[in-house]
Amino acid sequence: MHAFLAADGCEATLLEELRRTHPGFHQAQTPGLIQSEFDADWNQSLPPLVFLRQALFQAVPLKVDSIRLAAEIVFDQLVQVLPESQPWRFHCVAHYGARDPGSPGARARFTQARFRRTPDPSSPEANKTADAGQHRCHLIEEALVELLQRKRRHLGRQRVDSTDPFATTESFVQLLLTSPTQGLLSIHLAPGPSRQPRWVVPFQKGDIPIAVDKAAPSRAFAKLVESEIRMGRKIQAGEFCVDLGAAPGSWSYLALQRGAHVTAVDRAHLRDDLMDHSKLEFVQGDAFNYVPSRMVDWLLCDVIAAPERCAQLVIDWTRQKRCRRFVVTIKFSGAADLNAIQNLKRELAEVCPEFFLQRLCANKNEACVFGAIV
Ligand X SMILES: C[S@@+](CC[C@H](N)C(=O)[O-])C[C@H]1O[C@@H](n2cnc3c(N)ncnc32)[C@H](O)[C@@H]1O
Applying CB under 6 A, which residues contact ligand X?
217-218, 220-221, 245-251, 265-268, 286-288, 302-305
19/271 with CB nearer ligand X: 271
Amino acid letter for position 251:
W
Mapped onto helix, strand or coil, the DSSP state of residue 255 is helix
Cα three-residue angle 122-14-134, rounded to 5 degrees = 35
54/250 with CB nearer ligand X: 250
Mapped onto helix, strand or coil, the DSSP state of residue 302 is coil
94/287 with CB nearer ligand X: 287
Closest separation in Å from C-beta 285 to ligand X: 7
Closest separation in Å from C-beta 320 to ligand X: 19
Give CB contacts under 8 A, 24+ apart, made by 274-281.
Answer: 274/217, 274/249, 280/252, 280/256
Helices of type H across 102-181 = 106-115, 124-151, 153-157
Name the residue number minimizing CB distance to ligand X: 245
Closest separation in Å from C-beta 239 to ligand X: 17
Buried b (16+ CB within 10 A) or exposed e, 71-100: bebbbebbeeebeeeebbbbbbbbbbbbbb
203/288 with CB nearer ligand X: 288
Closest separation in Å from C-beta 211 to ligand X: 12
92/265 with CB nearer ligand X: 265
Closest separation in Å from C-beta 335 to ligand X: 20
Closest separation in Å from C-beta 219 to ligand X: 8
Closest separation in Å from C-beta 127 to ligand X: 32
Spatial CB neighbours of 327, under 8 Å, sequence gap ≥ 6: 223, 224, 227, 251, 298, 299, 300, 301, 368, 369, 370
265/341 with CB nearer ligand X: 265
Closest separation in Å from C-beta 266 to ligand X: 4
177/270 with CB nearer ligand X: 270
Full DSSP string of 3-57:
EEEESTT-HHHHHHHHHHHSS--EE-SSTTEEEE-----TTSPPPP-TTEEEEET
268/349 with CB nearer ligand X: 268
253/356 with CB nearer ligand X: 253
The phi and psi torsions of 83 (rounded to 5 degrees) equal: -65, 130
Full DSSP string of 61-116:
EEE-SSHHHHHHHHHHHHHHHS-TTS-EEEEEEE-SSSPPTTSS-HHHHHHHHHHS
Closest separation in Å from C-beta 110 to ligand X: 21
Spatial CB neighbours of 179, under 8 Å, sequence gap ≥ 6: 30, 96
